[in-house]
Every structure is written in structure tokens, then in C-alpha cells.
């Protein structure tokens, strides 16, 4: 365990729980988990191997910036995960919950079958089905994605689940989403779903709803959105979490009438971190600065961890990674 060091004012407690990609405590068969604990002074206080899913550590309490801890875990064949800052207190234990994915884990969509969507996820089923000539066509389109491009389907579910959990002044972003765009239209800077984002038609009232949410400090506007989202007219990023916040980018010049409602194009995506400092410290996402497409597996992990840290309902898309 980490021990008290000179300059501290007592001790604090960190409770660490580790889960796997099924959102369950990591199994007893997983051995040699490497746990690292670094204080706010960037001094590594603990680095050792453990077996199990729950651990308790006593760490120095400094009563200053030194109490902004970083906790990182990794394992043989498991991807690294971590959180920062963990604001240690002297009297209240701080719980950290991390998710580790097996490097060979794959997407499991057993709970996301098309036949289950109308009853379990009627709002999302409607969004996914609209635009197809028949229900069978919508199902074929969905199942083709599941078979041939599971990363993109995982991205869809990551975004749909995260948007479902965002409270706007009236409804959620899904309330205003009408229809996904399933074909590339490069001349309009609009594209079929990819593993990092999708484009959809949404009731233009969504723009005002997000602007109102920004006034309540739930979103922050992005300056010069067209620099990173070609053709965009405005963009707002959720600020609720330290990691994996939803960004809603609007292409208000591209309109269409759907079911009598004037719609504009919205481009949702999820960024890994609010700032690059967290990325550099945690060293979790190797490709965040490389220009590669966002990995939906990383989004799944980060969004789940962020929700657990914030004490909000669990991020629970209808798939797992095992």
C-alpha cells in the first residue's frame, strides 16, 4: 500500500474497483493487475501488481494540490485505464472505478438485436428505421452494419445512449433527432455513419435547446466550428464530464422537411478528453493525437468511467465488449 510521506497532514483513502467490458467486476482469473498511484506533485507513491477486483489504499493527505491524485491500472493483455484528478480527502474515502478491456475483446450485440429495438428502444428504433422503404429494409441496413462494420454500430449506440442521457430544457437530443443519413454526400460535407460520428436530420429547434443549455453551463460553444467540421455553422460540447463529452455540431444551411418538421443537419461525436493534459498524464489513448478515427471501444470505457465518477446513471449501451 502507499504510505505516508514527509510533508503530509495525515492520510486519505482511495477505494479502487476494477470492471471488465461487460460492466461487471473483473473476474478472479485475471492476475497481475498493475496499479499505479501518483500524487498531485507527480510523485509515484505506489506501483505494484494485484489480483482481484477491489482494493484499498492509504495515501498521504497534503491539504494542497498534492491531493489531486492519478490512479492507473493495466494488466497482461488488458488495455490501460486511469482517472485524474482524484481529489483525496482526509475524512471521506474516494472511490475510483476503472474498466479494463482485453486487447482481443470484440463487440457483443446480443442485447441490440433489431427485433428487440421497438420494445426496448422505441425512440432509437424510429430514428434508425426512418427513411427506409420498409421495416425489412431498415433491418437489413442495421444488420449489415452489425456484421460488416461493428465499430460503426458501436459508435451509433455510444452516441445514442449518451444523447439519451443529456437533459435539455425540453427533452433530450434524441427528442429532436428525426432520421440518420446513411449515404455519403461529399459535396455537402455530409457522410454515412463512421466509427467516430454520424450525421442526421434533426428538428431545427434542437439548436435553440442546446443554446439554452449552454446558457446554463451544460454546453460550451466551439469557436470557428468550420475549422474542424467542414460546412458547420455552430458547434457545442457537453461539459459535464472530464472525459467523453458529446459534441453537437450543426450544419444549419442544409435543411429538409421530414414529417412536416423543418430539419437541419446535426453531426454528433464524442471527444476523449476535455484537455490534452489529461491525455498526456494517463497515456490511455495512443491515437488521440495521431489523426486516427476515434475508437468506439475507448469512448465506451471513458464514458462509463466518467459516469461512475459523476454519480449519474450508468452508461449502458445495449452491447458489451468481451
HSE-CB at 235 with a 13 A cutoff on CA atoms is 20
Mean pLDDT across 168-192: 97
Q: What is the widest separation between alpha-carbon atoms in the chain? A: 71
Give the separation between CA 59 and CA 11, rounded to whole angstroms.
5
CB atoms < 10 A from the CB of 213, how many? 20
Residues ≥6 apart with Cβ < 8 Å to 191: 181, 184, 185, 199
Q: Which CATH class is domain 11-99?
A: mainly beta
Q: How far is CA 152 from the centre of its chain?
A: 14
If DSSP codes are grouped into helix, strand and coil, which group holds residue 57? strand
pLDDT at 276 over 60: no
pLDDT, tens only, 118-164: 999 999 999 999 999 999 999 999 999 999 999 999 999 999 999 99
User: pLDDT band for position 285 (50/70/90)?
Assistant: very low
Domain boundaries, the chain: 11-99, 107-321
* Confidence tier at 228 by pLDDT (50, 70, 90): confident
Q: For 77-130, how does the pLDDT look when each residue is reduced to its tens digit (9 = 90+)?
A: 999 999 999 999 999 999 999 999 999 999 999 999 999 999 999 999 999 999
pTM of the model: 0.92
pLDDT digits (tens, 9 = 90+) for 184-206: 999 999 999 999 999 999 999 99
Residue 277's pLDDT band (cuts 50, 70, 90): low
- The 10s digit of each residue's pLDDT in 264-275 is 999 999 988 766
* C-alpha cell belonging to residue 62: 497534503
- pLDDT for residue 288: 44
* DSSP letter for each residue of 75-90: ETTEEEEEEEEEE--S
Q: Using the structure block, give the residue that is written with the C-alpha cell 458547434.
A: 235
Amino acid at each position: 500500500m502507499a504510505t505516508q510521506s514527509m510533508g503530509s497532514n495525515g492520510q486519505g483513502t482511495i477505494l479502487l474497483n476494477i470492471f471488465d467490458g461487460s460492466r461487471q467486476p473483473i473476474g478472479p482469473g485475471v492476475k497481475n493487475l498493475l496499479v499505479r498511484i501518483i500524487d498531485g506533485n507527480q510523485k509515484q507513491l505506489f506501483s505494484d501488481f494485484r489480483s482481484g477486483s477491489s482494493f484499498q489504499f492509504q495515501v498521504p493527505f497534503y491539504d494542497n494540490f498534492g491531493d489531486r491524485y492519478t490512479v492507473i491500472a493495466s494488466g497482461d493483455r488488458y488495455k490501460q485505464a486511469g482517472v485524474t484528478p482524484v481529489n483525496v480527502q482526509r475524512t471521506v474515502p474516494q472511490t475510483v472505478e476503472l474498466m479494463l478491456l482485453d486487447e482481443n475483446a470484440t463487440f457483443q450485440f446480443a442485447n441490440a438485436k433489431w427485433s428487440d429495438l421497438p420494445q426496448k428502444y422505441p425512440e432509437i428504433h424510429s430514428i434508425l428505421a426512418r427513411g427506409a422503404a420498409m421495416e425489412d429494409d431498415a433491418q437489413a441496413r442495421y444488420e449489415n452494419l452489425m456484421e460488416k462494420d461493428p465499430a460503426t454500430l458501436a459508435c451509433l449506440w455510444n452516441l445514442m445512449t449518451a444523447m439519451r442521457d443529456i437533459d435539455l430544457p425540453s427533452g433530450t437530443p434524441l427528442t429532436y433527432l428525426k432520421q440518420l443519413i446513411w449515404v455519403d454526400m461529399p459535396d455537402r460535407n455530409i457522410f454515412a455513419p463512421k466509427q467516430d460520428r454520424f450525421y442526421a436530420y434533426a428538428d431545427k429547434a434542437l439548436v435553440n435547446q442546446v443554446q439554452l443549455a449552454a446558457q446554463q453551463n451544460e454546453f460550451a460553444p466551439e469557436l470557428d466550428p468550420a475549422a474542424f467540421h467542414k460546412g458547420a455553422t455552430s458547434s457545442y460540447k457537453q461539459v459535464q464530464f472530464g472525459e467523453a463529452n458529446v459534441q453537437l455540431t450543426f450544419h444549419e444551411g442544409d435543411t429538409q422537411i421530414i414529417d412536416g418538421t423543418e430539419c437541419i443537419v446535426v453531426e454528433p461525436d464524442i471527444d476523449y478528453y476535455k484537455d490534452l493534459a489529461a491525455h498526456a498524464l494517463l497515456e490511455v489513448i495512443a491515437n488521440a493525437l495521431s489523426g486516427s478515427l476515434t475508437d468506439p471501444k475507448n469512448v465506451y470505457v471513458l464514458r462509463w468511467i466518467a459516469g461512475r465518477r459523476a454519480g449519474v446513471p450508468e452508461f449502458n449501451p445495449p452491447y458489451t465488449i468481451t
